[in-house]
Structure 1
Amino acid sequence: MIRVLVADDEPMVRAGVRAILATDPGISVVAEAATGHEAVELVQRHRPEVAMLDIRMPGGDGIEAAAEIRRTVPATGVVILTTFGEDDYILEALGHGAAGFLIKSGDPQELIAGVRAVADGGAYLSPKVAARVVAHLAAGDTAMLAGRRRAARGLVDALTVREREVLAHLGGGLSNGQIARRLHVAEGTVKAHVSSILMRLDVPNRAAAAVVAHEAGIVPEQ
């Protein structure tokens, strides 16, 4: 059973997330929080496999809560719930070790996919979130964007052919199991490739690697 904490200052949002997750018999919401501080306290008490945090909450936002959870309960994977227009927050959360990013208005099944991927020790970056991050970067300085894209392509070119394939599917939001089935290899093989990819790209987690995949332009169309 995957135990989940849901944190959002809006009761209706929490109820909606709980209802969606309840459709999966392998997932159980063990606690709910309305503030960032409460989320941290409940994670420390219940130690769930996954904490789903609204990116903006009173009493300590999702980014602050994510950083504290990663510091005090590193076994709990953090999934950030966001809305369009919060790109700066997403980029900041990437730097604080969040392992998953989901759009509140996205496909409900992404909630389940995200929870399962993060609970499995991986990460889940909604393709829509990745696209928004890249678009946000594209809205910045043209020279800086071109530099980021060149750097991303250079990093990706240094990977093996199989690592590039794994990274492309990772950027598309697939879990290790889904990638394994897509490439007809063992899931353990995919995990090994992901570990190598993170080290060679010098990124902290799969979510950050997914952004590199999008910047390099190797993510297949959904």
Structure 2
Amino acid sequence: MHSMLEIDRGTLTVAVLVDNEVFGRGIEAVLGSVPEVSTVHRCGSREEYEMLSQFGGVDFLIVALPEAHWLEKDGRAVRGSTHVILLVDEAAITDVTQLASMPVDGFVSQQRLTANLLSDTLQRIRRGELPMPPTLTRALLARADEPGPSTRTRTVNLTARETEALNLLVKGLSNKQIARRLAISSHGAKRLVASIMLKLDSPNRTTAAINAIRAGLVDYD
């Protein structure tokens, strides 16, 4: 039977979707030390999570890769406003492009999992950033330098404002930081980033940055 842990210090509700019970309990225990988290639900299957999400708001879903493949197909519709964090085994990363294309809001390393890391990840996602382990970041940047025929032959028409926002996005700025740099509202920055991702056919900010670099829309040094 899956457990629920409640903490008075925070306000966030987090669901953990991990089939391995020992690993799931470990993540649950770590979340117990994260100040922002008030409630943790551990789910053993997608169906359990979907049932849970129907009865109340889930702010964050932490999901292991073996249980996350359904997100590639219909995760956007199922998750609603819930932020999704993908657990990554850095020692087993093989296809970084597939990982980057997952419709998630951030990545966290299984090997580096601590309360401080999870707290930082939650805060960064809420600021509009897309946190990921350094190993994955380096692999993605290396892959961005490789030729990508599908993106290089495609014409992407960005407005001047979108181009400004894209350059800031590629540098790793969050929506709030982009808003400050462009002297616009956070909502306006969010709309710009959403439009950029749509035009670049990218499910998240990381893939948008990679596609932009490959298409020669920005310079990244």
In structure 2, the gaps of 5 or more residues are 1-10
- The 2-side partners of 1:124 and 1:80 are apart by 11
Match of 1:23 among 25, 31, 35: 35
- The 2-side partners of 1:171 and 1:73 are apart by 26
Is contact 2:213-2:219 (8 Å) kept? yes
Q: CA deviation at 1:82?
A: 0.9
Question: Are 1:98 and 2:97 matched, yes or no?
Answer: no
Q: CA deviation at 1:68?
A: 5.6
Is contact 1:3-1:48 (8 Å) kept? yes
Is contact 2:165-2:192 (8 Å) kept? yes
What one-letter code is carried by the residue in structure 2 that aligns with 1:12? G
The structure with the larger Rg is: 2
C-alpha distance 18-89 of structure 1, shift in aligned 2 (>3 A):
farther
Match of 2:140 among 133, 138, 148: 133
User: What CA RMSD, in Å, does the superposition of the two structures yield over aligned residues?
Assistant: 3.8
C-alpha distance 29-119 of structure 1, shift in aligned 2 (>3 A):
farther
Deviations 1:32-79 (A, max 9, x none): 2344444344334443022111113xxxx1222675653334232322
Percent of residue pairs bearing the same amino acid type: 26
What one-letter code is carried by the residue in structure 2 that aligns with 1:33? C
Is contact 1:3-1:49 (8 Å) kept? yes
Number of equivalences = 203
Q: CA deviation at 1:87?
A: 4.3
Q: Which residue of structure 2 aligns with residue 150 of structure 1?
A: 152
In structure 1, the gaps of 5 or more residues are none
Q: Which residue of structure 2 aligns with residue 187 of structure 1?
A: 186
Q: CA deviation at 1:189?
A: 2.7
Query: Which structure shows the higher helix fraction?
Result: 1
Is contact 2:148-2:214 (8 Å) kept? no
TM-score, with length taken from structure 2: 0.67
